[in-house]
Amino acid sequence: MPSPIASLTPFARRCLAAGASLMMLGVMLGAFGAHALQAQLTPRQLSSYQTGVQYQMLHAFGLMIVGIVAQVTGVTPRLRWSARLMAAGIVFFSGSIYLMTAGASRSLGMVAPVGGISFMAAWALLAWHALSKPSS
């Protein structure tokens, strides 16, 4: 009897591994913010940092959902793009917040909306996949 892990498609395996890794990183960054940065940042900066962590974790979980959906329904271009956009959103949205919190120029804040749009497009593609009729 094959192992359930062995039967995962490569795409599902990558989505699950990337999502779980980004979740672990989110927990680490959240703990770092709560313990090491709390005394270093203003309340507004800390709130912004926590927003970055929250969005990272939410979309890392979303990436895992995409992997599970792909395993169940099959991989489609919409799911591939949904996964790419969730990952890109984490980099652009959360990453820009982390960098600004670390002292990077506030002009980097112009990158965050690119991440937000990536997140919205990723969820829209996942919804589109869910509402699409299966191909015969």
Can you give the pLDDT at residue 99?
95
pLDDT > 90? residue 134: no
Per-residue pLDDT of 102-131, as tens digits, reads 988 989 889 999 999 999 999 999 999 999
8 Å CB contact between 85 and 118: yes
Per-residue pLDDT of 51-99, as tens digits, reads 999 999 999 999 999 999 999 999 999 999 999 999 999 999 999 999 9
The span from the CA of 34 to the CA of 41, in Å, is 10
The span from the CA of 1 to the CA of 47, in Å, is 49
